[in-house]
Amino acid sequence: MENQYYQKAIETMSREDMESLQSERLVKQVKHVWDNVPYYRHLMEEKGVSPEDIKGIEDLHKLPFLTKDDLRDQYPYGLLATDLDNCVRIQSTSGTTGRRVVAFYTQKDVDLWEECCARALTAVGAGKGDVCHVSYGYGLFTGGPGLNGGSHKVGCLTLPMSSGNTERQLQFMMDLGSTILCCTPSYAAYLGESLKEAGYKPEDNTLKAGIFGAEPWTEEMRRDIEKSLGIKAYDIYGLTETSGPGVSFECQAQSGMHINEDHFIAEIIDPDTGEVLPLGSKGELVFTSITKEAFPLIRYRTRDITVLSREKCSCGRTLVKMRKPMGRSDDMLIIRGVNVFPSQIETVLLKEGYAPHYQIVVDRENNSDTLDVYVEMNPESFSDVVKDIEEDATKLASAMKTMLGIKPKVHLVAPKTIERSEGKAVRVIDKRKLHD
């Protein structure tokens, strides 16, 4: 497939030009929030910085951070930077705890967001003549509306499926010849499994590529989905606070996601000290949105942990790349003092040949943490001989110990007994939090 761009001039812009564009936009944005959002002015005054101190991206570090708590405290209108009359859309986070985050969009904000999604779709080869099957949820969640808008912009025939009703998803996919699939990776894995169960082989569908994001997923999961659906699987990242999907997207190189730097300036910081770390360091991702009118975020701490890279990309894009975020700083489980990311568990079980349907349960017994991992046996190797099951579980637990440093209790359960997700998968149940 030939390299394709949606906005070539921006996507392949020289470093120098991009930095001067970012500087110009940052200066304007800082003035915009200072003039229109009393809360930002208050945070800046507290840090002793005013718009005159910000002359370009080299001054970004002088600005205060913004956190999810700030967003919750300022719910619903406290960070709005334009008259509500100028807003045409609201989206909201899927968060189940605390107050939801509500983000506002002017028509220009919606247009620019959809352009970001259009870049993502073009990068995986989507365009006129494609049938774009969007199975992200529609509604307050940004996945459906974002990819839907991007799909219109690149001229695909858009199927606004939304999530759920898997039987209908398969029917439309096969009858209408879907070529591009957009959904969470866990739902893509479920669709692959369901197609197989319905008697289809991977080559029977017309899909060629998928754009999967909204939750962490491993390289092993990518290979599993590519195999079961017979497609190329690409990652896409974003968050409601900064617009939605399309903050960054993967190209054909499949080696990290290009950040749309003309809209979002990325920094990596030490999550404990707030210190800005040099390129290539692992740390917390911080975004400044330099084009948003209604809900601009300055130095927003995402809590996602990743690494940035400016290595030359074979696709020709010069936009900085971020590695797959493998969990958020607040997703990390600390079990008996050991840091455990759910993605490490996923890596091991897919490597050992299990399907990507699992659940992690953490609890506390006699003042000591317990880690239980529920994994489905494969239909092919399904056994009801207790000895066989025990042997397999012991083998998997040992493989996990090598990766994690602690040994979980592995429970091999019958195929199809772990609940499938239609949106973001619930992988972890931390019962310690319930007892506290």
Distance, in Å, from the CA atom of 1 to the CA atom of 237, rounded to the nearest integer, reads 23
Q: Which of 125, 210, 230, 325 binds ligand DLL (CB under 6 A)?
A: 325
- Chain residue at closest Cβ approach to ligand DLL: 213
CB of 390 vs ligand DLL, minimal distance in Å:
34
Q: Which of residues 235-274 bind ligand DLL (CB under 6 A)?
A: 235-240, 244-245
Our CB check for ligand DLL shows the closer of 32 and 146 to be 146
Count Cβ atoms below 10 Å from residue 204 Cβ, excluding itself. Answer: 11
Our CB check for ligand DLL shows the closer of 27 and 216 to be 216
Distance, in Å, from the CA atom of 112 to the CA atom of 412, rounded to the nearest integer, reads 47
Our CB check for ligand DLL shows the closer of 328 and 364 to be 328
Our CB check for ligand DLL shows the closer of 213 and 296 to be 213
Q: Which of 4, 158, 302, 421 binds ligand DLL (CB under 6 A)?
A: 302
Our CB check for ligand DLL shows the closer of 23 and 218 to be 218
CB of 94 vs ligand DLL, minimal distance in Å:
5
Q: Which of 150, 192, 210, 216 binds ligand DLL (CB under 6 A)?
A: 216
Our CB check for ligand DLL shows the closer of 244 and 356 to be 244
Our CB check for ligand DLL shows the closer of 332 and 413 to be 332
Alpha helices in 14-80 (DSSP H): 15-36, 38-46, 68-73
Our CB check for ligand DLL shows the closer of 142 and 421 to be 142
Q: Does 67 bind ligand DLL (CB under 6 A)?
A: no
Q: Does 142 bind ligand DLL (CB under 6 A)?
A: yes
Q: Which stretch binds ligand DLL (CB under 6 A): 29-37, 61-69, 212-220, 334-342?
A: 212-220
Q: Which of 11, 224, 226, 304 binds ligand DLL (CB under 6 A)?
A: 304
Q: Kindly report the backbone phi and psi dihedral angles of residue 333, in degrees, each rounded to the nearest multiple of 5, phi listed first.
A: -95, 135
Q: Which stretch binds ligand DLL (CB under 6 A): 16-24, 150-158, 323-331, 347-355?
A: 323-331
User: Which string of DSSP letters, residue by residue, matches 271-307?
Assistant: TTT-PBPPTT-EEEEEEEESS-SSS--SSEEEEEEEE
Output the six-digit token pair for 302: 């995402």
Q: Which of residues 327-346 bind ligand DLL (CB under 6 A)?
A: 328
Distance, in Å, from the CA atom of 337 to the CA atom of 178, rounded to the nearest integer, reads 47
CB of 266 vs ligand DLL, minimal distance in Å:
13
Our CB check for ligand DLL shows the closer of 80 and 214 to be 214
Q: Which of 125, 143, 210, 230 binds ligand DLL (CB under 6 A)?
A: 143
Q: Which of 145, 150, 210, 213 binds ligand DLL (CB under 6 A)?
A: 213
Q: Which of residues 3-22 bind ligand DLL (CB under 6 A)?
A: none
Q: Which of 3, 74, 93, 289 binds ligand DLL (CB under 6 A)?
A: 93
Our CB check for ligand DLL shows the closer of 239 and 373 to be 239
Q: Does 94 bind ligand DLL (CB under 6 A)?
A: yes
Distance, in Å, from the CA atom of 201 to the CA atom of 178, rounded to the nearest integer, reads 15
CB of 260 vs ligand DLL, minimal distance in Å:
13
> Which single residue is written with the structure tokens 């993502």?
120
The site string for ligand DLL over 363-402 (x = CB under 6 A, - otherwise) reads ----------------------------------------
- Mention every residue, 6+ apart, whose C-beta is less than 8 A from residue 338: 404, 405, 406
Which residues form the interface with ligand DLL (CB under 6 A)?
A: 93-94, 136, 142-143, 213-216, 235-240, 244-245, 302, 304, 324-325, 328
